[in-house]
Amino acid sequence: AQSVTQLGSHVSVSEGALVLLRCNYSSSVPPYLFWYVQYPNQGLQLLLKYTTGATLVKGINGFEAEFKKSETSFHLTKPSAHMSDAAEYFCAVSPSGTSGSRLTFGEGTQLTVNP
């Protein structure tokens, strides 16, 4: 069984400040991990993914995330927030080696960027 916990349903930062969105997972097998972004009334867009190899993964729009097995975490960061980053962010997990399996999503974190 898998689960995802996103700490903080709402995060607020100032423009230009560091963005840190937290994601912890539980999985009985090595996981594939994903971050998605959703703008209002739109579908989800893949930001980045971890499958195997390098634990620091870079995605679109300047975001990156680090897979830390010992901490069962996959936190999303961006060095400098932009107003256009305001959106809802979802962390998701699936068991590795079974690329057709279903994803388990966290409950989402709403990011607000203040001018």
Partner 1 sequence: DGGITQSPKYLFRKEGQNVTLSCEQNLNHDAMYWYRQDPGQGLRLIYYSQIVNDFQKGDIAEGYSVSREKKESFPLTVTSAQKNPTAFYLCATHGWQGEGEQFFGPGTRLTVL
Q: Which residues bind partner 1 (CB under 8 A)?
A: 9, 32, 34, 36, 41-46, 49, 51, 90, 94, 96, 98-103, 105-108
The full length of the chain comes to 115
Nearer to partner 1, 18 or 46 (CB): 46
- Give the CA distances from residue 92 to residues 12, 17, 26, 27, 64, in Å, rounded to whole numbers and listed in that order: 22, 25, 11, 11, 15
- Beta-bridged to residue 50, according to DSSP, are 33
Nearer to partner 1, 69 or 80 (CB): 69
Nearer to partner 1, 75 or 108 (CB): 108
**Residue 36, exposed/middle/buried by CB under 10 A (0-12, 13-18, 19+)?**
buried
CB of 60 to partner 1, least distance (A): 13
CB of 2 to partner 1, least distance (A): 12
CB of 21 to partner 1, least distance (A): 14
CB half-sphere exposure, 54, CA atoms < 13 A: 7
Nearer to partner 1, 17 or 64 (CB): 64
